[in-house]
Amino acid sequence: MRQVITVSLNGRAYALEDDAHAALGAYLAEASRALAANPDKDEIVADLEQAIADKCDRCLSAHKTVVSRAEIEAIIGEMGPVDGAAPSPAGAAASSAGAAPAGEAPRAEPASPPPAGAGPAPRRLYQISEGALVSGVCNGLAAYFNLDVTIVRLAFVVLTFLTGGVTVLVYLVLMFVVPYASTSEEHAAARGVPFNARVLVEQAKQKAAQFTNSADWKADRSAWTREWRRTRAEVRRAVREAKAEWRAHRWGAAPPGAPPGPPPSPAPYAAHVLSGLLLAILGLVLAAFTIAWVVALLSLAFTGSILGWWLPHGVSFWIAIVVLIVIYQLVAWPLKAARRAVYGARGVYHAPAVAAWDGIVTLAVLLALGWYAYGHVAGFHDLVEHVRAAFENFADSV
């Protein structure tokens, strides 16, 4: 089942599939941008919309009321790139060069100035969860360094053996600190490629020019088709992600029934890194405190003392337990509140994800403590060996 979006093309309503809508939106946005300096911009855009509407009519009938992505792509292909060269109203001769037959030499004459703020595309390290094995750190590194993800993963495994596990710590740190790429801009920044409609159309123009001018046009056409499919997939993914983000924001942050707010504006990269660090530290502190608290409780229950500290005379065992619980709440509550606030600042708050993370962090700290105790605390070492021996005996007898 596909979602359908109704649009107005020069005053008439047309139903488009959602990704067809995205493609058409990108084309018209590029047209408007290319014509920004043209005094007749509005009229030309209206003409273009009318032409697109006419072509849509061709695809529609009484039994087919929705324009598909493939049809919109074909229509955009027919329309061709919008010639943006701003004609000077006075100089007719000079501006006559403004009109180019379809798909010719877009590189030779930069028809329009680059958009404001366009420099080299930013390249930043993000985690990429699509196709991730663990968390997406290797995936993000691969995108950042433009390597195959398999090579990065192999490097990580080899380094883990060579460094005796330090690499795993590095991975864990990166996992906490490096933000996830969630928007299409962030995905583009993860690979260091610009991502906007203008660039897509610019690429399309170049491909079209190569296609038109090339002698071995068949090969070019298949390359162009491949490229277009790739671009299309990218646009579709971006749309999907934007929706997912919006949903996550709505169900995560807003109380049910509240009017849907605008999607969260992604926090700046530095803030993301900082909040990631803060989350990791808060999580570790909380986990360490929780474990210490459980140990204290057990110690109280079994020995009557809290880690060697005897209760003052007259304080009963039960009161001590109540006091411990109150202390835990007093310490843990602000920590949890701070974590929630930081998650909120990151744009999205997923309660299950936070709980899962807390569990993983606690488990990791417990394992680390156990490993340390096994090596350094004779009693614990003996206990583990004893359990292991008992288990082996049991296994042998079965």
Q: Is 39 in the site for other proteins (CB under 8 A)?
A: yes
Q: Within positions 282 to 301, which residues make up the interface with other proteins, using CB under 8 A?
A: none
| Per-residue contact string for residues 200-239; x = within reach of other proteins by CB under 8 A | -------------xxx------------------------
Q: How far is the CB of 66 from other proteins (least distance, A)?
A: 19
- Taking the least distance from each CB to other proteins, the nearer of 51 and 291 is 51
Q: Is 19 in the site for other proteins (CB under 8 A)?
A: no
Residues 6+ positions from 118 with CB-CB distance below 8 Å: 194
Q: Is 108 in the site for other proteins (CB under 8 A)?
A: yes
- Taking the least distance from each CB to other proteins, the nearer of 213 and 225 is 213
- Taking the least distance from each CB to other proteins, the nearer of 84 and 266 is 84
Q: Is 263 in the site for other proteins (CB under 8 A)?
A: no
* Residues near other proteins (CB under 8 A), total: 41
Q: Within positions 312 to 341, which residues make up the interface with other proteins, using CB under 8 A?
A: none
Q: Is 58 in the site for other proteins (CB under 8 A)?
A: no
Of 36, 104, 295, 368, the one binding other proteins (CB under 8 A) is: 104
Q: Residue 304: which region, alpha, beta or left (left: phi > 0; alpha: psi -120 to 50)?
A: left
Q: Is 96 in the site for other proteins (CB under 8 A)?
A: yes
- Taking the least distance from each CB to other proteins, the nearer of 31 and 279 is 31
Of 3, 6, 57, 222, the one binding other proteins (CB under 8 A) is: 57
Of 12, 218, 230, 386, the one binding other proteins (CB under 8 A) is: 12
Q: How far is the CB of 180 from other proteins (least distance, A)?
A: 38
- Taking the least distance from each CB to other proteins, the nearer of 37 and 383 is 37
Of 48, 142, 181, 189, the one binding other proteins (CB under 8 A) is: 48
Do the Cβ atoms of 140 and 182 come closer than 8 Å?
Answer: no
Q: Is 189 in the site for other proteins (CB under 8 A)?
A: no
From 47-55, 133-141, 188-196, 341-349, give the range in contact with other proteins by CB under 8 A.
Answer: 47-55
The three-state DSSP-derived secondary structure of the chain is CCCEEEEEECCEEEEEEHHHHHHHHHHHHHHHHHCCCCCCHHHHHHHHHHHHHHHHHHHCECCECEECHHHHHHHHHHHCCCCCCCCCCCCHHHHHHHCCCCCCCCCCCCCCCCCCCCCCCCCCCCECCCCCCCCCHHHHHHHHHCCCHHHHHHHHHHHHHHHCCHHHHHHHHHHHHCCECCCHHHHHHHHCCCCCHHHHHHHHHHHHHHHHHCCCHHHHHHHHHHHHHHHHHHHHHHHHHHHHHHHHHHHHHCCCCCCCCCCCCCCCHHHHHHHHHHHHHHHHHHHHHHHHHHHHHHHHHHHCEECCEECCCCCCHHHHHHHHHHHHHHHHHHHHHHHHHHHHHCCCCCHHHHHHHHHHHHHHHHHHHHHHHHHHCHHHHHHHHHHHHHHHHHHHHC
- Taking the least distance from each CB to other proteins, the nearer of 112 and 183 is 112
Q: How far apart are CA 287 and CA 210, in angstroms?
A: 59
Q: How far apart are CA 231 and CA 138, in angstroms?
A: 24
Q: Is 147 in the site for other proteins (CB under 8 A)?
A: no
- Taking the least distance from each CB to other proteins, the nearer of 50 and 203 is 50
Of 26, 28, 35, 278, the one binding other proteins (CB under 8 A) is: 35
The neighbour count for residue 30, using CB atoms within 10 Å, is: 24
Q: How far is the CB of 228 from other proteins (least distance, A)?
A: 17
Q: Is 78 in the site for other proteins (CB under 8 A)?
A: yes
Q: Is 100 in the site for other proteins (CB under 8 A)?
A: yes
Q: Is 82 in the site for other proteins (CB under 8 A)?
A: yes
Q: How far is the CB of 219 from other proteins (least distance, A)?
A: 13
Strand partners for 14 = 7
Do the Cβ atoms of 60 and 15 come closer than 8 Å?
Answer: no
Positions in the binding site for other proteins (CB under 8 A): 10-12, 31, 35, 38-40, 43-44, 47-48, 50-51, 54, 57, 78-85, 87, 89, 92, 95-102, 104-105, 108, 213-215
